[in-house]
A and B are shown apart, each in its own frame.
Chain A
């Protein structure tokens, strides 16, 4: 669950590529992350459309984020689902390279 959007003091919504502070509500057992742990994550998919400069509009089917550490490297080793290309410009190169598909 999202607690805060990093970047500005009173930011209302986060979009693809924004880092958020979140708390884990549900965790799969036997993983390094546990329930009610406060973590940082970067949003990679949103149901809200992402508008690109060339007029392309992309809409995903779900909301998804990747858990990262303070530097911006993903804490995990695998990423599921498609990723938006904007992340490459925001220097999340490791996430982009792990992604199965970049759209």
Chain B
């Protein structure tokens, strides 16, 4: 149904189809008037904001606006929505979220300790190897070159493993 009501430019009243007058000014601006009263006042250069019965006046003097203002405040807040992603299913995420801080600290400490132990182990290994080499060199000076070639490789490998 083509029942689009338009608004009068002067009074703010609804204009039903078939009623009202449309005025196109020289600068191609269109004015819609509900009746010849509005049209007449417009052409006589009266201001709608000074005429008590127009919508513009009511808006300016804040008549009847309290009800509308109260309604506007409600705005929906975004709820945090959790879903699973690649790499961690929903349960895993939720479990991690609900972990208590003490548990988390304990886990972190355990991991650190593990790393430290690992490093210590490799360091000990290195030391042991070095001691072995020194003792071997002392024993056999002629065969010193070959173990020496092997020794530099050993420490490096141990160092790389410990850092990780």
Q: Name A residues whose Cβ lies closer than 8 Å to a Cβ of B.
A: 45, 49, 54-62, 81-82, 100-101, 103
> Smallest CB–CB gap between B14 and chain A, Å?
15
> Smallest CB–CB gap between B119 and chain A, Å?
81
> Smallest CB–CB gap between A78 and chain B, Å?
15
* Of the residues B17, B19, B24, contact of A82 by C-beta under 8 Å: B24
Consensus secondary structure, chain B interface: loop
Q: Is the CB of A55 within 8 A of B17?
A: yes
Using Cβ atoms and an 8 Å threshold, which residues of chain B touch A55? Answer: 17-19
Does B53 touch A at the CB level, under 8 Å? no
Q: Name B residues whose Cβ lies closer than 8 Å to a Cβ of A.
A: 17-26, 28, 30
Q: Is the CB of B17 within 8 A of A57?
A: no
Using Cβ atoms and an 8 Å threshold, which residues of chain B touch A57? Answer: 20-22
A-B Cβ contacts below 8 A, count: 37
Using Cβ atoms and an 8 Å threshold, which residues of chain B touch A101? Answer: 28
* Of the residues A54, A100, A103, contact of B24 by C-beta under 8 Å: A103
Measured in the bound complex, the distance between the Cα atoms of B20 and A56 in whole Å is 7
Q: Is the CB of A81 within 8 A of B26?
A: yes
Measured in the bound complex, the distance between the Cα atoms of B21 and A100 in whole Å is 22
Please list 30 pairs of residues, one from A and one from B, whose beta carbons are closer than 8 Å in the complex, sorted by A's number: A49-B21, A54-B17, A54-B18, A55-B17, A55-B18, A56-B17, A56-B22, A57-B20, A57-B21, A57-B22, A58-B23, A58-B24, A59-B21, A59-B22, A59-B23, A59-B24, A60-B23, A61-B23, A61-B25, A61-B26, A62-B26, A81-B26, A81-B28, A82-B28, A100-B28, A101-B28, A103-B22, A103-B24, A103-B28, A103-B30
Measured in the bound complex, the distance between the Cα atoms of B26 and A100 in whole Å is 13
Using Cβ atoms and an 8 Å threshold, which residues of chain B touch A60? Answer: 23-24
